[in-house]
Amino acid sequence: MKRKAGRARPAPGMAGLRHPTQMIATAFAAAVLIGSVLLSLPVATESGTRADYVDALFTSTSAVCVTGLITVDTPAYWSTFGEVVILVLIQAGGLGIMTLATLFAVLVSRRLGLRARLLAQAETKSLTLRDLRRVVRNIVMFSLGTEAVVAALLTTAFVAGHDQPPGRALYDGVFHAVSAFNNAGFSLNSDSLMRYVGDPWVSLTICVAVVVGGLGFPVIFELLRSWRSPRTWSVLTRLTLGLTGALLVAGTVVITLAEYTNPGTLGPLSSPQKWLAGFFASVNARTAGFNSIDVAAQGPESLLATDILMFIGGGSAGTAGGIKVTTFGVLAFVIWAEMRGEPGVTVGRRRIPDTNQRQALALVLMSVGVVVCATFVLLGVSDYGLDRLLFEAVSAFATVGLSTGITADLPRAGQCVLIALMFIGRIGPLTLASALALRNRTRRYELPEERTIVG
């Protein structure tokens, strides 16, 4: 009997991976597992003994998901081999596993199939498939170029301002440049960047790298093309730049004023250094994870402000995490339109589609649900208070890496919760949900409409 014509059957081994986002989730998971195996090798530790696998898995997840949370002291525990593995995982996670795979396909075969282009589109958030190979090449070239410039500036600062040997300064400069641009927050110093709290050269260089990496590649490329014509900017660019600037200013003011007289944080610093440290804290709360002041000594006001900044995060399609400023901006304009009684939501002279509004609402509600559930579990398995555990959960989910110093002291169950949060936060709640779905469902009919009471 002849087989009826229909859709082509998936290739062996691919039957369970029908959606591009499933491939992305699988690729990130594979990278995490490979990294954990490498970090489990005796050569990866300073002591020459095998690392506990949970520590290796936690560090690998934190690196691939560009988070920065750690259960062991990076410079003291990991050897040079282990640090290089962490650096490679950060770079791979920041660029995106699918972006790297697409680049390799272009370089090797000079051809790119539709399936591979769809995979790369899903990872890079490209709005069209046109010239995707050029887009991926530009992403990699821009990333490596920016990291090289930042590394050169940091190396010079370490040599000229802190008397480091040139070789060590170069190593530190490259590591921190990659970590900063990819918003990872890993440092080769046990105190992160607290030793540079009053150094504007180091602090501002790190801040610029964090902000550029967190803007998102579509915004960066649009600015490079039409920076002289703001009126032609897309809604994405306007929302990202406007809200990024507003959040940086608000975060700087709130954190600086809240910690101004705190003897454990900004109190001993001069006035200019206080504002520099406050700005640094505001920038790095947007998912970078470096700290130049003691987070554990911060007051509840600045911790809450940091929670909010971490949860919002940075720009779409960049190296930052969180729900993204565009999501926050869309919901803000939805509220504004509802308060004014407008029939639609507009940003500038553009209308935001209903689908975007639903996506933003779903993303925020799912994110809140994940953070709340994780915090509830952490409360059950540890003895720390709500403020610290909520801070830890938001930091992990938003792939920030800031901590009040309790990560290593959490029980293994709590650390496994953070591993799950980092993974979910990196690939995105909606991406994870769509990866679990085999296909989109369509309804060929409409039900009668009935209004309900809201509020």
pLDDT value for 276: 97
Are the C-beta atoms of 402 and 396 separated by less than 8 Å?
no
Q: Which of 220-229, 234-243, 388-397 has the highest mean pLDDT?
A: 388-397
As a whole number of Å, the CA-based R_g of the chain is: 22
Across the range 359-368, mean pLDDT stands at 89
pLDDT of residue 16 exceeding 50? no
Residue 75 reports pLDDT greater than 80 = yes
Q: Which helix (H) or strand (E) holds 36?
A: helix 20-39
Q: What is the mean pLDDT of the chain?
A: 86
CA gap 429, 406 in Å, rounded: 25
195-to-189, 290, 378 alpha-carbon distances in Å? 9, 12, 31
Conformation bin of residue 331: beta by default, left when phi > 0, alpha when psi is -120 to 50: alpha
For the CA atoms of 382, 383, 388, 393, the dihedral, rounded to the nearest 10 degrees, stands at: 10
- DSSP conformation letters of 64-98: HTT----SS-HHHHB-HHHHHHHHHHHHHHHH-HH
Q: Residues 416, 374: contact at Cβ < 8 Å? A: no
With a pLDDT cut of 90, the percent of the chain lying above it is 60
Record the tokens describing residue 340, joined without a space.
């004014």
pLDDT per residue as tens digits for the range 281-336? 999 998 888 999 999 999 999 999 999 999 999 887 778 889 989 899 999 999 99
Q: What is the pLDDT of residue 134?
A: 75
- Terminal CA-CA length for the chain: 61
Q: How confident is the model at residue 229 (pLDDT cuts 50, 70, 90)?
A: confident
Q: Residue 412 pLDDT > 90, yes or no?
A: yes
Banded model confidence at residue 226, pLDDT cuts 50, 70, 90: confident
In DSSP terms, 351 is beta-bridged to: 346
Q: Which of 21-25, 73-77, 143-147, 450-454 has the lowest mean pLDDT?
A: 21-25
For residues 435 and 19, the answer to whether their CB atoms sit within 8 Å is yes
DSSP track, 278-320: HHHHHHHTTTT---SS-GGG--HHHHHHHHHHHHH-S-TTSS-
What does the pLDDT read at residue 440? 53
SS3 103: helix
- pLDDT for position 11: 43
Q: What's the pLDDT band for 3 if we cut at 50, 70, 90?
A: very low
Q: What residue spans of 125-191 are helical by DSSP H?
A: 132-162, 166-181
Structure confidence at residue 131 (pLDDT)? 59
Lookup: tokens for 165 = 């040997």
Q: What is the pLDDT of residues 164-218, one digit of tens each?
A: 999 999 999 999 999 999 999 999 999 999 999 999 999 999 999 999 998 888 8
438 DSSP assignment:
S
Residue 235 has a pLDDT of: 87
Q: Is pLDDT at 111 greater than 80 in this prediction?
A: no
The answer, yes or no, to whether residue 122 has pLDDT greater than 80, is: no
Kind and range of the H or E run holding 325: helix 325-340
